[in-house]
């Protein structure tokens, strides 16, 4: 909960400083959308923290790579942006290294048990 609180506090302070001089009134629809993003983002952060507190990082880390896939998907669907070849190569390197570490840790634990 402390991590979630400080993340939210830092984000709120940073955003308030950034928009202080350029703020313009927004519609009720925009307020609802901003509140939805805040609530869903907070829930996502909360569940990520809970997930990492319940299992070892080496077990949970591969699941975070789903965010790469989702970011690519939404980038294409909403913004019509396709990742460049260097972006895809970088994402593959990151995912492959994480999966390698997970595989290595799993093998080490199996050896330790036997």
Summarised one tens digit per residue, pLDDT across range 12-68 is 888 888 888 888 898 999 999 989 998 998 898 888 888 888 887 767 777 777 888
User: Do 59 and 102 form a contact (C-beta atoms < 8 A)?
Assistant: yes
Q: What is the C-alpha separation between 62 and 95, in angstroms, rounded?
A: 8
Give residue-wise pLDDT tens across range 67-100: 888 888 999 999 999 999 999 999 889 888 878 8
- Residue 56's contacts (CB-CB under 8 Å, 6 or more residues apart) are 105
Global confidence as pTM = 0.57
**Which band of pLDDT confidence, cut at 50, 70 and 90, is reported for residue 11?**
confident
The residue ranges of every structural domain in the chain are 1-54, 56-114
Burial classification of residue 47, based on how many CB atoms lie within 10 Å of its CB (0-12 exposed, 13-18 middle, 19 or more buried): exposed
């Amino acid at each position: 909960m402390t991590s979630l609180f400080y993340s939210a506090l830092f984000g709120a302070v940073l955003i308030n400083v950034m928009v202080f001089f350029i703020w313009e009134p927004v519609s009720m629809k925009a307020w609802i959308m901003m509140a939805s993003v805040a609530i869903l983002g907070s829930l996502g952060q909360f569940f990520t923290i809970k997930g990492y507190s319940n299992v070892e990082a080496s077990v949970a880390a591969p699941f975070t790579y789903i965010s790469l896939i989702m970011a690519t998907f939404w980038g294409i669907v909403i913004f019509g942006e396709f990742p460049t070849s260097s972006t895809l190569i970088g994402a593959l390197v990151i995912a492959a290294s994480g999966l390698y570490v997970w595989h290595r840790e799993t093998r080490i634990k199996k050896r330790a048990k036997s």
